[in-house]
């Protein structure tokens, strides 16, 4: 109850309605004391604010603000490095890395090129083998029913010659002729 | 501060030294007072005041150019800095620098000393409210914004703290007599 009255007194003081606050406080001795205390507090609190700062504090603050700003704004070498040298340097580094990688790629791929040609030839041969089968069936069919047998025979011989020629080429270069060695396991052949 | 705040603010935005000098001169004592009241340590208050202005300097472009917002922001930075340090080092609340605050030649030294001691016996949150409202003279709305709590809560808490403070001071006076 008294606490509520105290709060009411505080609110009235806050509104600067001192007359009513005093009237309310007059009802009780404790409330009167409380009212007087609050007035005293209002006078005293203001004096507790520190109105002076230690010597040189403002100077220190200003020095800190502007020395750090200066350091950020005017780093001559740094700014040259960041604005001019660094982008160029990073470009040069990136360019060198690309060159080195390209060289390395060429270097690694070159020994594979023979193998690459070989496997291309092998794949091509396989494909040709099946195409030949189809073609032979077609030729046989045509041979049986076509009247121009001579031309067909000539064509077949040409094809066979061409094939033999290519086989021979690979026989010279390598022993791994896929037509003769259809398996990867040499031991199997042996 | 006779000059219009907007003009000073423009100077602050451009990092002009005269503008910052005016602001530092105007507010350094308030920030120093606040941080000293918060921590009780002069050394901490000095460091904190420097740091608060430095953070303000760094973030000046984020603040709208009116005086109230500027002050609120300044105290919010000060408060956050104090709280961060309080969390890191809980026993920072330390030396009662009342001799610096209340000179011994003051005729009301005894009673002010008791009030100061009373404030220091409050909890940290209570003390903060009293410092902001009664010592630094902020309005309820401004305190609500600085502390990020509703205005009604600020009012009721301050009333409770004042009642508590008067009881503490009575006890202290009783002891002294």
- Residues B98, B104: Cα–Cα separation, whole Å: 9
* B176 and B141 assigned to the same domain: yes
Q: Which of B80, B95, B110 is the last residue of a domain?
A: B95
- Residues A59, A78: Cα–Cα separation, whole Å: 28
Taken in order A55, A57, A58, A63, the sign of the CA dihedral is positive
* B13 and B25 assigned to the same domain: yes
Mutation target for A interface from B23, B27, B32, B35: give the one with most A CBs within 10 A: B32
Is the pLDDT confidence value at A183 over 70?
no
* B17 and B64 assigned to the same domain: yes
pLDDT (mean) for A60-75 = 72
**Residue-number span of the structural domain to which B112 is assigned:** 99-177
Three-class SS state of A129: helix
* B38 and B104 assigned to the same domain: no
pLDDT (mean) for A132-158 = 76
Q: Which of B95, B128, B146 is the last residue of a domain?
A: B95
* B87 and B11 assigned to the same domain: yes
Band (A77; pLDDT cuts 50, 70, 90) = low
Q: Which of B35, B65, B95 is the last residue of a domain?
A: B95
Give the CATH number, domain containing residue B164.
1.10.10.10
* Positions of chain B with pLDDT lower than 70, given as ranges: 1-3, 89-103, 175-177
**Contacts B169 to A, Cβ<8 Å:** 37
Is the pLDDT confidence value at A190 over 50?
no
Q: Given CB atoms, is A36 within the 8 Å cutoff of chain B? A: no
Interface contact B166-A34, CB threshold 8 A? yes
Give the CATH number, domain containing residue B28.
1.10.1740.10
Q: Which pLDDT does position A57 carry in this prediction?
A: 86
Q: Which residues of A164-189 are buried (b: 16+ CB within 10 A; e: fewer)?
A: eebeeebeeeeeebbbeeeeeeeeee
Interface contact B32-A54, CB threshold 8 A? yes
- Residues A26, A20: Cα–Cα separation, whole Å: 10
For chain B, what is the domain count? 2
Prediction pTM value: 0.55
* B1 and B88 assigned to the same domain: yes
* B132 and B82 assigned to the same domain: no
- ipTM confidence score: 0.73
* B7 and B84 assigned to the same domain: yes
Is the pLDDT confidence value at A91 over 70?
yes
- Residues A4, B160: Cα–Cα separation, whole Å: 10
Q: Given CB atoms, is A44 within the 8 Å cutoff of chain B? A: yes
- How many Å lie between the alpha carbon of A72 and the closest alpha carbon of chain B? 11
């Amino acid at each position: 109850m008294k606490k509520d009255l105290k709060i009411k007194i505080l609110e009235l003081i806050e509104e600067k309605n001192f007359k009513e606050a005093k009237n309310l406080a007059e009802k009780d001795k404790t409330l009167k004391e409380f009212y007087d205390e609050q007035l005293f507090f209002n006078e005293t609190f203001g004096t507790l604010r520190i109105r002076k700062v230690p010597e040189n504090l403002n100077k220190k603050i200003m020095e800190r603000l502007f020395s750090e700003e200066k350091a950020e704004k005017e780093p001559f070498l740094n700014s040259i490095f960041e604005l001019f040298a660094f982008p160029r340097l990073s470009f040069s580094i990136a360019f060198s890395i690309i060159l080195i990688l390209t060289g390395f790629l060429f270097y690694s791929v070159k020994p594979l090129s023979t193998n690459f040609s070989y496997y291309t030839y092998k794949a091509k041969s396989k494909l040709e083998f099946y195409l030949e089968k189809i073609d032979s069936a077609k030729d046989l069919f045509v041979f049986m029913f076509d009247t121009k047998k001579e031309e067909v025979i000539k064509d077949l011989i040409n094809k066979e010659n061409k094939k033999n020629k290519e086989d021979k080429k690979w026989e010279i270069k390598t022993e791994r002729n896929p037509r003769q060695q259809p398996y990867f396991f040499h031991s199997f052949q042996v | 501060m006779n000059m219009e705040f907007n003009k000073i603010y423009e100077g602050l935005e451009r990092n002009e030294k005269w503008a910052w000098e005016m602001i530092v001169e105007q507010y350094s004592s308030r920030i120093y007072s606040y941080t000293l009241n918060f921590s009780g340590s002069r050394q901490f208050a000095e460091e904190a005041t420097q740091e608060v202005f430095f953070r303000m300097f760094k973030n000046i472009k984020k603040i709208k150019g009116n005086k109230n917002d500027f002050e609120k922001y300044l105290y919010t930075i000060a408060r956050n800095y104090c709280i961060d340090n309080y969390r890191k080092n809980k026993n920072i609340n330390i030396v009662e620098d009342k001799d610096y605050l209340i000179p011994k030649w003051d005729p009301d030294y005894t009673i002010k000393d008791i009030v100061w001691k009373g404030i220091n016996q409050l909890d940290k949150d209570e003390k903060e409210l009293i410092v902001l409202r009664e010592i630094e003279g902020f309005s309820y709305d401004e305190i609500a914004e600085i502390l990020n709590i509703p205005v009604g809560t600020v009012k009721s808490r301050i009333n409770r703290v004042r009642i508590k403070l008067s009881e503490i001071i009575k006890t202290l006076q009783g002891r002294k007599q």
